[in-house]
Amino acid sequence: MKNKIALPVLLLLCLVCSRFVPTVTGADDYDVVILNGRVMDPESKLDAVRNIGIRGGSIQEISTKILNGKSTIDAKGLVVAPGFIDLHAHGQDDVNYRFKAMDGVTTALEFEGGTAEVAPWYSEREGKALINHGVSVAHSKVRMALMHDPGPIVATGDAARRAATAAEIVEMKRRIAEGLKQGALAVGFGIVYTPAASRFEILEMFRVAAQFGARAHVHVRNAGLMEPVDGFSAIQEVIADAAVTGAPAHIVHIDSMGLSATPRILQMLAEAQSHGIDISAECYGYDTGGANIESPVFDEGWQERQGLDYKDIEWAPTGERLTAETFAKYRKMGGLALLHENTDEIVRTTVAHPLIAIASDGRLREGRGHPRSAGTYARMLGHWVREEKALPLMEAIRKMSLLPAQLVERRAPMLKKKGRIRVGADADLSIFDAVRVIDKATFAEPAQYSQGFQFVLVNGTVVVKEGRLQEGVFPGIAVRAPIH
């Protein structure tokens, strides 16, 4: 009789006590566990201390429960954010991927410059990439290939300066369609580098983008303030092409194109979007731009068009400001010139605007380049959020993760699992110290790793641990649209 009473009482006591004992999952339930981090998810607006369990490259649990795993990251005092997605990453090699990872980037996409050969581009990186990667099929690269242009990066021959025939326009459309069938994520345009491309030619390429639901990522035709070859008019061309064709459009480094007219241009974009035109834009958070000195950007009349002079141009390899003589010398050589063209006020307005994503437009070659190549994302968090208070931390994270994913996910549904922290999402995570994070790259020394990113995970694999890159890991996968 005593045993019959004791058993129900014992069970009741167990149930009551269990409410006060932390639930512990089985040992090694997860591949990686992140404990005690301030989890900030821009999609759900979650901003709270949580534990995250990761298995098989994806997030399996987000909770206040104690979790166990094969490896554990103590993120106490750190922000756990979705891995950042760079829509404008020219540097697509192992060296550049390392700088990206140290800047919190888990996915680097080459959209403006793109490629003419989509399938080989992906094949070259298969199984050898530190971070995720993807590419557009680019009108400029297709034009260069078709016209046998000698420029290794941007057009310097016929592709820059010769009008296309009707037959060539048809062939360019065919090649762009083929690239999209091979899984290209977007259609890239560097119109400023192919000024001989007529407005009709660009419109025809937008029609192909619309056919495949691909966003057109555009370096617009002109920059500066001198009508009719100003940034305002150039951006109107893109809005018009998007309206006519239905292709979604994205304008790269918009403040570099608009300069002091940028606030008016941002107003125009917002109004276009309010009337149903799918238009977006990006910036990189620096007041200095960059362009190849041998490109059409610096063709005769550039001072008047852009409101700049030789003293405003810095030769990236040496840091010297140019004169008429050194400009002519380096133009024959070719290479990166830095344009000191904007103000802090314009950049501040741009980074804070809700339509604007953050993207680096970066590439380092032999340790030289623009500091945005290594420091864009840490600069946003350290300079613009913490020091300047230009925008809240959650909004900055949205601009660097969720917003870029949303701009591409219609074309590539796999991006619906990136840019978020939720169960089922890919475990691409940037874990940083919000008090210390800052860019270290400068114009004099651009190849400097950012500071403050303590852990970075790509598809569940730790690629940055305690602020140091991990060697011999290549978890990056191809971000690609469905292949037809």
| 458 Cβ contact partners less than 8 Å away, ≥ 6 residues apart | 83, 101, 106, 130, 131, 132, 428, 475, 476
Q: How far apart are CA 209 and CA 278, in angstroms?
A: 13
Q: How far apart are CA 337 and CA 235, in angstroms?
A: 23
Tens-place pLDDT, residues 420-448: 999 999 999 999 999 999 999 999 999 99
DSSP letter at 223? -
Does 5 score more than 50 pLDDT?
A: no
Q: How far apart are CA 11 and CA 24, in angstroms?
A: 20
Where is average pLDDT lowest: 14-18, 174-178, 227-231, 242-246? 14-18
Q: How far apart are CA 340 and CA 359, in angstroms?
A: 19
Q: What phi, psi does 288 have (nearest 5°)?
A: -120, 130
Contact between residue 363 and residue 414 where contact means Cβ atoms under 8 Å apart: no
The CA-CA-CA angle for residues 307, 335, 444, to 5°, reads: 80
Where is average pLDDT lowest: 99-108, 162-171, 197-206, 292-301? 292-301
Q: What is the CA radius of gyration of the chain?
A: 24
Q: How far apart are CA 114 and CA 207, in angstroms?
A: 18
Tens-place pLDDT, residues 392-408: 999 999 999 999 999 99
pLDDT value at position 225? 84
Q: What phi, psi does 370 have (nearest 5°)?
A: -85, 140
Spell out the domain ranges in the chain. 83-287+342-420
Does 419 score more than 80 pLDDT?
A: yes
Which CATH number does 83-287+342-420 carry?
Answer: 3.20.20.140
Cα–Cα distances in angstroms (integers) from residue 67 to residues 14, 23, 72, 463, in the given order:
22, 8, 9, 22
pTM of the model: 0.92
Q: HSE (CB half, 13 Å, CA atoms) of 45?
A: 1
